Structures are given as structure tokens and as C-alpha cells.
Copies of this chain bind each other. A is one copy, B any other.
Amino acid sequence: MEKKTDNTVRLQDVAKKASVGVGTASRVLNNHPNVSEEKRKRVLEVMEEMGYRPNFVARSLKTKSTKTIGLILMDITNPFYADILRGIQDEVTKADYSLILTDLGTKGNHLPKAIETMGDKKLDGIIYIGNQVDDDSAQLFLDTRRPLVFVSTAVILVNKELHDDFFSIEIDNENGAYEGVMHLIHRGYKRIALISGVKGDQNSSVPRMKGYKNALEEKGLHINPQWIHHGEHSFKTGYEGMKGFLSLSKVPDAVFAISDMAAIGAMKAAFELGYRIPEDIGVIGFDGITHSAYTHPTLTTISQPRYEMGTKAIQLMLDQIEGRVQKGRRVLLDYRLVKGGSC
């Protein structure tokens, strides 16, 4: 009961030296009221003098709060996610929480393991940013019985029902895409191709493709299946998609890319084949990453409020952790058409 194996100083060491009970010392530490000014001062002095630092692990065991939020994300390599992370980080820092990050990466399905570990480590909440999650993983999320926030992720189906015990933050993807394609049409483009994401992904691919089709149909333009390319949110996807389009007998005159990464890859491919942008072929992207302002020509894009998505995510998380809200809901943020020189 009085072993000092290493030289860490414990609260009871402080208490003893200050001649108070360990309970009192704890109260001082946590700014509880019922402690006399005299003892408070003495304890504080001794803490300073001995260089006492509270043990977070022991505290967590007792309070059941780790002051740590888990963040699972798709691919940190994509600046879109990195920008969201910046918002998350700033807000987390402000609230004195820590962040446990799991970057899923592209190879292998590490999601179930990641969710379970975050539950086991007693994180106070979990944020997920990425593609739609399958039903099994969705169930795992709920099983952790922790506050959840999904960013830029389609609402999940569990047992074929919509759950309302988590938050989600998105933009109106369908209308965003619609507006982007409309912009192309207004600029005079008529043969508009689509570089999409993972087929069937309810997060970005499905709603954005819907917006794309809505716009074309509304204007009576032809939807050519050959002009739709599926892939990831990567340079490579855009590059390959564009290469494919430009090798067809009937070449499109504009491309709507589901992400800026893909748009940049597409531009590269067009340039390589000697096409001029925007004269020969127009390009529009989606996301609004910083990078899109540094291509030549500058990329026109549907910009998402990335930083704000991050800050909002943490705010909603803290609302849940601190019991200010009960039911989850879907939060829609505004997107914005940023006009560049690519179309």
C-alpha cells in the first residue's frame, strides 16, 4: 500500500506531504467546492513542488471517460479528408480531448476491427468519415453504445430501418452534382461524361450520379453509358477514366468528376493527349480542395465546407457526450460552386 517502485508521484503522495486526506487532494484537483481555502492553497503548492501529474488511465477507469474521441477515416491521403481532419483537430484541441485515428487505407477491410478496438478502449465517441458502411459494420458501430457522428457518409441501414441514434453531416450531394452539371451545360457543353466513385456507394456515387442524370434529362441530353467511369476518389481513377473516354469513337466534350482528385487526374490525361482545357474539353470537380486552385487552368468545382464539417462533427459529438442532445439527426451543410477556368 506504500510501494514506490518508480518515481512517479501519486495523489496520495501529495496528500501525505500536504497533510490532508487523499479525498481532499482529489477535490482540489477537480475544483470541487467543499474545501477550505487554506488547504486548497497548500495542496496546490505541494502539487507544484512535487511536479504532480494526474494519471489519466486511473482517472478514466473511475470516471468511465477517456477524454478521447475515435476517428475512423477512409484515406488520409485524400486532401478532402485531411481538410476535415483539420477542423476536427482544432475543435478537439479546444475541448481538451484527444483523437485516436484509424486510417483505413485501401487494402483490406480493417473497419470491424477498428470499431471494436475503439469500443474496447472506452473512447467517448466515434466519428466515421468515408464510404457507406455495410450492415454488419453498422451494427458494430451501434453495439459500441457510444455517441456516433458520420461525416460525408450516407445514412446507414440497419435491419432495413433508418436509425436515428446517431448524427450525420453531409451536403446535398444530388443537388450539388446537378448544379455542377448544369453549369457545364450552361457553358455550352453537350456531351458530358461522368467519372464516378465506387459503384453503388450511397455516399457519393449514387446521389451524385442521380444529380448528373437529372440535369442531363432535364435538358434532353443523351446519357451515354460509355461515358460513365467508376473508380475511387483518386488521381488514377480520373486519369484512367479520361483516357478511356478519349479513346472512344464518340468523345465527350466535358467531364464531371466526382472528386477533385479524379478531376485533376482527368486533366492530366487530357493534356497528355493534346487536348486543351477548357476549349476542347471541359472539366468540373467536386470537393473544393486547395489543390484545385493550383491547377492550370484552375479547376471549377463544387466546394464542400470541409473544415466546417470537421468542427461541426466535434460539436455534435460533444453535444452527445455531455448529454445536451438525445436523438440524432442529419445535418446538411451548404456547398458552393467555385468557378475556375476548366470549363
Contacts and interface: CB of A to CB of B under 8 A. Distances in A.
Nearest to A290: B235
A220 to B, nearest CB: 34
Interface string A276-312: 0000000000000011011110000000000000000
Contacts of A71: 101
Interface stretch (A23-31, A185-193, A245-253, A261-269): A261-269
A236 to B, nearest CB: 9
A119 interface: yes
A58 to B, nearest CB: 6
B122 A56 contact: yes
A103 B122 contact: no
A93 interface: yes
A294 B265 contact: yes
Nearest to A108: B93
Name the prevailing secondary structure of the A interface residues.
Answer: helix
A121 interface: yes
Kindly state the interface size class of chain A when it binds its partner: 35 or more
Given A58-B61, A90-B105, 17 more contacts: A53-B116, A55-B61, A55-B122, A57-B57, A71-B101, A76-B76, A76-B85, A76-B86, A77-B83, A79-B79, A89-B102, A93-B110, A98-B117, A239-B294, A268-B296, A291-B291, A296-B296
Nearest to A7: B145
Contacts of A268: 294-296
A89 B85 CA distance: 16
Interface of A: 53-58, 60-61, 66, 68, 71, 76-77, 79, 82-83, 85-86, 89-90, 93, 98-103, 105, 110, 113, 116-117, 119-122, 235, 239, 264-265, 267-268, 271-272, 290-291, 293-296
A217 B71 CA distance: 49
A91 B242 CA distance: 34
A291 B235 contact: yes
B100 A56 contact: no
B93 A82 contact: no
B56 A121 contact: yes
A234 to B, nearest CB: 9
Nearest to A272: B296
Most B-side CB within 10 Å, residue of A53, A99, A294: A294
A55 to B, nearest CB: 7
Given A77-B86, A86-B103, A121-B98, A294 B57 contact: no
Contact of A53 (B113, B119, B264): B119
A295 B105 CA distance: 24
A329 to B, nearest CB: 26
A105 B56 CA distance: 25
A291 B235 CA distance: 8
A120 B296 contact: no
Contacts of A93: 102, 110, 113
A255 to B, nearest CB: 15
Contacts of A60: 57
Contact of A66 (B53, B57, B110, B296): B57
A139 to B, nearest CB: 13
Nearest to A265: B294
Contacts of A98: 100, 102, 117, 121
